[in-house]
Copies of this chain bind each other. A is one copy, B any other.
Amino acid sequence: MATDSTPHANRKVTLTDIAAGCDVSRATVSLVLRGSPLVNKLTRARVEEELRRQGYVYNRAAANLRRRTSSSIALVLNDLANPFFAEFATGVDEALGGAGYVTLLGSTGESVAREQAVLGSLLEHDPAGIILSPAEGSDAGSVLRTIGLRTPMVLFNRELGGKASTEAPWDRLMLDNQRGARLATEHLIALGQRRIAFFGGHAGSSSCQQRHAGYVEAMKAAGLTIEPHWRIESAPNRVDAAAQCGALFFDAPAPTAAVCYNDAVALGLMLGLHQRGIRPGRDFAVTGFDDIAEAGLSAPPLTTLASTPRARGRQAAELLLQRLRDPQAPAQRTVVPVQLVVRGSSCPPPSA
Question: Which residues of A pack against B, CB within 8 Å?
Answer: 8, 10, 12, 55, 57-62, 64-65, 68, 71-72, 75, 80-83, 85-87, 89-90, 93-94, 97, 100, 102-107, 109, 117-118, 121-126, 148-150, 238, 267, 270-271, 293-294, 297-300, 310
Once A64-B61, A80-B90 are accepted as A-B contacts, the answer to whether A121 and B107 lie under 8 Å apart by CB is no
In the complex, how many angstroms separate the beta carbon of A47 from the nearest chain B beta carbon? Answer: 18
In the complex, how many angstroms separate the beta carbon of A308 from the nearest chain B beta carbon? Answer: 12
B60 touches A125 (CB 8 A): yes
A293 touches B238 (CB 8 A): yes
B106 touches A118 (CB 8 A): no
Q: Of all chain B residues, which has the CB nearest A114?
A: B97
Mind listing 18 A-B residue pairs with CB under 8 Å?
A: A8-B148, A58-B124, A59-B65, A60-B125, A81-B83, A81-B86, A81-B310, A89-B105, A89-B107, A97-B106, A97-B117, A97-B121, A102-B104, A102-B121, A103-B106, A105-B105, A271-B297, A298-B298
In the complex, how many angstroms separate the beta carbon of A41 from the nearest chain B beta carbon? Answer: 25
The 10 closest A-B pairs by CB, nearest first: A299-B299, A86-B86, A294-B294, A105-B105, A103-B105, A60-B124, A61-B61, A81-B90, A58-B124, A80-B90
B103 touches A61 (CB 8 A): no
A60 to B109, CA, bound (A): 25
Chain B residues with CB below 8 A from A267, complex form = 294, 297
Q: A72-B125, A89-B107 provided; 15 other pairs, C-beta below 8 A? A: A8-B149, A12-B68, A61-B61, A61-B64, A65-B65, A81-B310, A82-B86, A83-B83, A86-B89, A97-B117, A102-B122, A103-B105, A294-B297, A294-B298, A297-B298
A93 touches B80 (CB 8 A): yes
Chain B residues with CB below 8 A from A150, complex form = 10, 12
A90 touches B107 (CB 8 A): yes
Chain B residues with CB below 8 A from A148, complex form = 8, 55, 57
In the complex, how many angstroms separate the beta carbon of A296 from the nearest chain B beta carbon? Answer: 8
A62 to B125, CA, bound (A): 9
Q: Of all chain B residues, which has the CB nearest A310?
A: B81
Chain B residues with CB below 8 A from A59, complex form = 65, 124, 126
A89 to B75, CA, bound (A): 13
In the complex, how many angstroms separate the beta carbon of A55 from the nearest chain B beta carbon? Answer: 6
A123 touches B57 (CB 8 A): yes
Chain B residues with CB below 8 A from A299, complex form = 298-300
In the complex, how many angstroms separate the beta carbon of A282 from the nearest chain B beta carbon? Answer: 13
In the complex, how many angstroms separate the beta carbon of A56 from the nearest chain B beta carbon? Answer: 10
